[in-house]
Structure 1
Amino acid sequence: MASCLKNDLSCMVCSKLYRNPQLLPCGHSFCRCCLDNLCTANSTYVCSVCHWSTRQKPVANLVLRNACESYLREKEKENNEEVRCSQHGEKMNFFCKTDEKVICTECKTYSHSSHRVQPLAQAVQQHKRQVKAALRPAEKALECLCHGTTGHAKINRFIQYQAKQTERMIRKDFEKLYQFLREEEEYRIAALREEEERKTENMEVRVEQQILSLSDRVRYVEDKLEDDDVTFLQNFNPILQRAQCTVPDPELDSGTLIDVAKHLGNLKYRVWEKMKDVCSHYPVVLDPNTAPADLSISDDLRCVGKSISNRPSPIPHHRNRIVLGSEGYNGGFHCWDVEVGDSKHWTIGVCEDTAARRPVESLTPRNGFWGLSCDGYTCKVLGTTNTWHWWNKIPRTVRVKLGHHLIWRTVSFFDASDGSMIAGSIKVPSVKLFPFLIPGDHPSVLRIQQDHVTVTVQEKFSFLGRSIDADVRTMPLYIYVFVTVAFFIILLFFNSITNSYKY
């Protein structure tokens, strides 16, 4: 009887007792986990018994779930009744709190007489209450997750906010490009129309001049035809010459027609070359996800400053008040300019990513920070006690150079206005380092200066029978090689002449 009941309460997929049974519209029930495996990619449930497919979500089979729970309770009760002491063969009715084990009456009387013992049912109730109390926080957390009142929901809302703001900026930047292309298109079409009108007008002037000339000839000949016979014959040859004038062909040259090459030649390239004035490039792009809520980041991600009001941010930030660059550097040479303006309180430099994301007591090389800090009219390198004053002037733009000096990797700071060094050859480790900025009080703002963008065309030339693509800046090297080879050839030539004179 018990085995038949167990078969009725078992899932037809996993052959185990139902766990959170779910009912399909066809009337068959399955475990929740088994039903998830039956779900196809397009959210269609296929019954493994009758093969009925439906997109309707299953519902919890409460009756079947209660039956399974009742069966488990009865089974547990039977097991408790059947479990007997292995030493005395008696029913286990007590629980020893000292040894934390179930015992029988004989065990309580003899081996556990001095221990703290309580009835089995009482111990079960106490332990169940303890488990339920431990489960209560998980239940509350589950309820919050289901109702969307946890921090995850706040982060999801912020992600949606970020997506909308980013989409707005993308559309704004593309609108600038569209506007530039529309204006450039109108300008070039207007230039084409202007040339068309000018050259059409020139042709009309030529035609009018020819009309006037031919009209005079025709009128002259017609007048001579009215002369008397003697006069007409005496003047026949000049009249015939004037009458034999033909319409000259239009003079065609490159200046007569539309200069198509001027309007279409490398059109896309010339427009793209001109676009560099509206397409700015910044060597460092700030990461707004690393900025505290009281710092404001510009839409183009190149300016940072203290904000009057906190911006929305679900991520807690520590008290370092640091904004990182979005890209780190493992090696190579990198340079960027930071405009500090009139601000007299700022800190700039490079740091390790893990160092910037954890709270530290001080910004020192030991904690993963290498940089320059300005406080009023004094300045110092991070991690040192030596300070100096700005005697001549406070730099308005600081140039940061990250590269190699001899065998070490270093970071240096310069005044971008005159190239004078502020602090140089600060040794840094050979790990990925991120630029960082710390602005001063409101309204001071730190700005990443844009790079000067140039467009160059690669030159091609042949050297020693091979076609070589090279930048113009590499040409002196090949010239040097050519001159060196020519010098040795001339030297060998004179050497052979000298040897021939000797003999």
Structure 2
Amino acid sequence: MNRKSLPEKNLCCPVCHDIFTDPVVLSCSHSICKTCLFKTGSVKDSLFCPVCGRRSSKNNPPINRALRNVCEAFSREPDKESFFGHNEFCSQHNEKLELFCLTDEEPVCLVCQMSKKHTKHSFCSIDEASKYRKEELNSEIEPLKQKLGDYEGVKQTLTDILEHIKEEEKQKCENVKIKIGEISQKICDITDVISAIKRTTQDDDITFLKNFKFSVQRTQGVKQDPESASYALINVSKHLGNLNFKLWSIMKKIIQLYPVTLNPNTAHGNLFLSENLTSFGYQHNSQEDEEHPNKCPANPFTNSPRVLGSSGFDSGTHCWEVEVGDDATWSVGVMTESVLEKSPEETENGIWELICYGIVCEARAPDAEPESLTFSPPPERIRLQLNYETGIVHLSNPEYGTSLYTFKHKFTERLFPCFSSTLKILPINVSIRIKQNILPAAEHMSTELLYGIVTEVINEPIYEEILSDLQRPRS
């Protein structure tokens, strides 16, 4: 038996019990389908309300337009529940939604949990799933706030440039205003002549011919060409000539590019990630750890404290550096995408990594015995270079320019950066290629065009192409 929500009942006619069709409102304030009213409420040319029985003061009551619009919108909505908002009952089994399917990422009822569709799926409570996802979404706020500050900083710089241009413009502003007034008067004169000629051509032939000579003389007086507006131009090359480079110089001071950001959904439960997802640490099991917001019930690592990068690579050359500091135990490497679908016991079969315990290290690769290595002094920074096409994963110590180890393998699937213990991903130095002639020559720009460009830059920052350039993976 289907349940009707309270809002849906309010859209039903009290006579036919269906969604209103052309509802009319009676003097008693009740609304009835127009067809239902005339079927049940007509007695000797009088209309009576079928709800309260009162006689209508009008034989042709008006349409309730607001109610009709709502009913029509409701009828067009394919998902009636979404029309009124959240519904706590399963649309399939009409049971309360009490669980959240971690596999399908959707709320389910107890009957759904036992159905074939959700066989072998993982579940948690609605409250737990909602709490974790709210915290995950809230973690995105701080990076967005930082990005907002970056944009506001560049916008303020452009605003300052605009104000500087305005100061220079004041030197010619008065002359331009005078010219605008003179041109406006010319426009009025020409408009009056055009209107007069149109009226003259509609006169009778005799009147028209008498006034013809005068009309021609009037047209001659307004045929002068307008003066060139070159006097309004100002020299803006010093303001906008190197605008792109100026923006880049400002951005370089406030923006750091990290070649890898971490994916908190893959982090082991004992790892805690920084807000910008570029560093992480390890903490031992405790009751507090069990409730850590970065602990994801579906992560692939339950036996080892690892975490993956958020983006994978299936082509090209890529490079990233990490700082291990004084931590005695750490690992850096890459992992195949298929490991995400394997059981925790099988995760070691898809990882190429260098794992160190102080000065003693091991190079581990799938289907190969670990190779022992010794480094003195122990490296504090590790650089990993991946060349997907040649199948080379090279690890080195950038401080001393020494090679640590090189893996060789023919990769056939996407690789993700893989880390463990306590590490910090380091930002990389970036450069920019200046694109020539982005703006038109200053001496050919009018004041209106100039302000249009600067305003557009403020509202739609032109350094968008710079950001896209920074986001490209670099070797």
Report which structure shows greater RCO (CA 8 Å, sep ≥6). Answer: 2
Give the TM-score of the pair, scaled to structure 2.
0.48
Larger Rg: 1
Give the TM-score of the pair, scaled to structure 1.
0.46
